[in-house]
Amino acid sequence: TPVAAAEALAGLNPAQREAVSAPAGPILVIAGAGSGKTRTLVHRLAYLVEQGVAPESLLLLTFTRKAAQEMIARAGHLLPDASCRQVTGGTFHATANLILRRYAAHVGYRANFTILDQGDAEGIINLLKSSLGLGGAGRRFPSRRLLLAIISKAANTEIGIFDLVESQYLHLLEFLDDILLIAEHYRRFKISHGLMDYDDLLLYWRQLLRENEEVRAELGRRFQALLVDEYQDTNPVQAEIVRLLAAPRNHVMAVGDDAQSIYSFRGADFRNIMEFPKQFPGTRIIRLEENYRSTPEILQVSNAIIAPAPEQYRKNLFSKLAGGGKPVLYAARNEGAQARFVVENIRQLQASGLPTEEIAVLFRSGFHSYKLELELAAAGISFEKRGGLKLTESAHIKDVLAHLRVLCNPADRLSWHRLLLLLDKIGPKTAAGIIDRFPAPAAAEDAEGTGGEEGGAEQPLAAHLQVLAAYPAAKGWQQGFLLLQELLADLQAAGPAPLPLLELVLVYYQPIFQRLYPDDYPRRQRDLEQLRPLLAGYQDIRDFLADTALDPPAVNAGGAEGLPDRLVLSTIHSAKGLEWDSVFIIHLAEGKFPSGQAEDDEQYEEERRLFYVAATRAKRNLYLVYPREVTGMDRRPALCHPSPFLGEVPPRLLDLPAVGPPPATADPYPKRQLYRPRPGQGEASSEEGGGRQPAADRPLAVGARVRHPFFGPGVVVRMVPPSTVDVRFDRHGFKTLHLDYAKLETL
């Protein structure tokens, strides 16, 4: 019999212990934020190893690579030896990469396929658009971004482009044939040039499991048990991968919280987690109700934020932690004042002895922190920014990587295109002319069966070099063309170690770089220098390229890489699963949060969940901040309304410090957002031909006195059917409110 699992079961409550020690089989832990889901998964990992399950047969799927590493390390601390290091852990995409490199031939690829990021994929769509002669002037042809979104959605939902356009993009119906054509060419282009986008990684992984019984059995033997964190953010493709991979043993544990589902733009659906018990009949469902992270005051506000969500799996979360202060709501005069408020409070927290790394500032979008970054720099507070711009999104980094990519995958036509265009006087026509002479990429089927393990034979770069050497270069660009050939020959001779390869490319690239970016090249130079330390950890350039594509490193805005005790600035999406002693959420203003792009109820509710995720990151101190005035693109100050979500938190739960004088803004009617009425509410009142009635006896009309739980008393000055009303509040001035969400009481 197995040894008593003393360590793995220590420090758990009974429900957690039940989950950790459950016998092999499907287990779903569905519970609110901070209830110890991730901790339960970590202990389960250790428990299984203690029980004698081979660590190398465990697969841990998480939302970031870092999360997987940390969880495995924590499980390791519960065990007497280092056996946990053998556990395979990572994101779905990284695991797909791992598996597809091995079984590439089975899905018609070679093992050296290149992973495309969003920018790469857009680049291909553009190439195809022009080579197919589509989207010429005069027609409102969908953008490459929209085209990709449609292609991706169709692939992930299996709806098919035809039905998708008919049901969701009706205004694009006239372009349906062109969209279908581009989608088909995009698919073939990727296959013939050894390219996979993010969707492909998952889709081919699933295809492998669906269609190849032998491989499925092999992978089933390799991974005896599956553990999945943040299951609420899986999409149907990932859910099916889990199902196929776990069968027939179904030794799988998933944990998640439907209220924290924030990736619908990647096809995730919070309802997915409810499907788990249907996918795995006999699932043991475990609920955790004690929150160990946040003070009761923070928990109450978090609960108030999520309470109005129309569809959710109800949970009773309580916290027994010692009470702290109420979360602070601060209306700053403008963005500068918002930044200063944050900096001053960080100073106070630091003075009270709190390590800076225990503080985070969270925001909806990467650019929301720009003003704060300046203020922090001026105050000498070092920070690390997460979830903002990616290093690999910038042109100069892509330029450098393109050279390394053709070295690893000479069929990667996209990268060839990029590096040829870098040469002086070479235009798209010439580049295409050169590329057309390259050896035709072997048909995908040829790769099948040429040695399952290694993937198909790789196309050697030598053949491409011969083509380049034979190409009749014009005088104007001959010199640069020769230098490129020299570089490629040097790269080919240099072996797989990444650093020497990078140095070769950087030396070659320097003059090109200075010619292309004369204005801001010092800044770009700093980015290039960031590449060296990134590569240093790798033995093989291929691993580096795959990892940077899967998990692109951030542009290091703080310049504080490696320094201890730094403040964290993060988008909310990148803060998932994490916790800090003190958390600031900034820009809680309408149009910023919820994002101005949230147009319908589904999106609006996703913004709410995002706010819930943000608030539940805080352990002891939570600060909610918004500017009452922002400077628009036209540099004119415009009045800013607080986020409608704030209006739903009862004021008694918040600490409202005295606010400054109102901003002097001319326009009390900023651009307003209209949300679609909620199902069941909308129809009835629109039949009444106008403004929805609030839950009170007296009708709402212009001139009526009203009270708002947060803004207090005011007068209705304008009604905008079907669901918006402008109110002048006695103390807070003009606000535009949504009747669906605001709780207005007529007096």
> Of 29-37, 113-121, 212-220, 596-604, which part binds ligand ATP (CB under 6 A)?
29-37
Interaction between residue 358 and ligand ATP (CB under 6 A): no
> Of 35-43, 214-222, 452-460, 555-563, which part binds ligand ATP (CB under 6 A)?
35-43
Distances (CA, A) of 297 to 324, 358, 650, 653: 7, 19, 12, 7
Taking every pair of Cα atoms in the chain, the longest distance, rounded to a whole number of angstroms, is 86
CB of residue 547 vs ligand ATP: minimum separation in angstroms? 24
CB of residue 16 vs ligand ATP: minimum separation in angstroms? 6
For residue 584, report the phi and psi dihedrals to the nearest 5 degrees: -105, 135
Pairing outcome for strands 290-291 and 88-90? unpaired
Interaction between residue 38 and Mg ion (CB under 5 A): yes
Interaction between residue 313 and ligand ATP (CB under 6 A): no
480 in a known ligand binding site: no
Cα–Cα distance measured from residue 113 to residue 101, given in angstroms and rounded to the nearest whole number: 8
CB of residue 602 vs ligand ATP: minimum separation in angstroms? 21
Interaction between residue 55 and Mg ion (CB under 5 A): no
Q: What x/- string results for residues 441 through 480 when contact with ligand ATP is judged by CB under 6 A?
A: ----------------------------------------
Strands (E), 345-435: 359-363, 383-386
3 state DSSP class of 329: strand
Distances (CA, A) of 347 to 220, 587, 668: 53, 20, 35
> Of 38-46, 135-143, 610-618, 699-707, which part binds Mg ion (CB under 5 A)?
38-46
- Contact (CB, 8 A) for 125 and 148: yes
Half-sphere exposure of 49 (CA within 13 A, CB side): 28
Interaction between residue 301 and ligand ATP (CB under 6 A): no
Cα–Cα distance measured from residue 670 to residue 505, given in angstroms and rounded to the nearest whole number: 50
36 in a known ligand binding site: yes
Cα–Cα distance measured from residue 629 to residue 309, given in angstroms and rounded to the nearest whole number: 28
- Contact (CB, 8 A) for 302 and 611: no
3 state DSSP class of 112: coil
Instruction: List residues bridging with 88 in a β-sheet.
Output: 59
Q: What x/- string results for residues 560 through 599 when contact with Mg ion is judged by CB under 5 A?
A: -----------------x----------------------
Interaction between residue 315 and ligand ATP (CB under 6 A): no
Interaction between residue 88 and Mg ion (CB under 5 A): no
**Count of CB atoms within 10 A of residue 529's CB?**
10
382 in a known ligand binding site: no
Interaction between residue 43 and ligand ATP (CB under 6 A): no
Which residues ranging from 584 to 643 are in contact with ligand ATP (CB under 6 A)? 616
CB of residue 132 vs Mg ion: minimum separation in angstroms? 46
Which residues ranging from 277 to 296 are in contact with ligand ATP (CB under 6 A)? 292-293
32 in a known ligand binding site: yes
Please report which residue ranges of 169-307 form alpha helices under DSSP H: 176-192, 198-211, 213-222, 236-246, 272-279, 296-306
Instruction: List residues bridging with 708 in a β-sheet.
Output: 712
- Contact (CB, 8 A) for 32 and 315: yes
The residue nearest ligand ATP at its CB is: 36
Interaction between residue 71 and ligand ATP (CB under 6 A): no
Cα–Cα distance measured from residue 404 to residue 239, given in angstroms and rounded to the nearest whole number: 34
Q: What x/- string results for residues 552 through 591 when contact with ligand ATP is judged by CB under 6 A?
A: -------------------------x-x------------
The single residue among 33, 68, 305, 332 that binds ligand ATP, judged by CB under 6 A, is: 33
Give buried/exposed letters for 117-130 (b at 16+ CB in 10 A, else e).
Answer: beebbbbbbebbbe
Cα–Cα distance measured from residue 493 to residue 504, given in angstroms and rounded to the nearest whole number: 11
Please give the size of the binding site for ligand ATP, defined by CB under 6 A. 19
> Of 11-19, 460-468, 649-657, 669-677, which part binds ligand ATP (CB under 6 A)?
11-19
Annotated binding site for ATP: 31-38
Q: Which residues bind ligand ATP (CB under 6 A)?
A: 11-13, 16, 31, 33-39, 257, 260, 292-293, 577, 579, 616
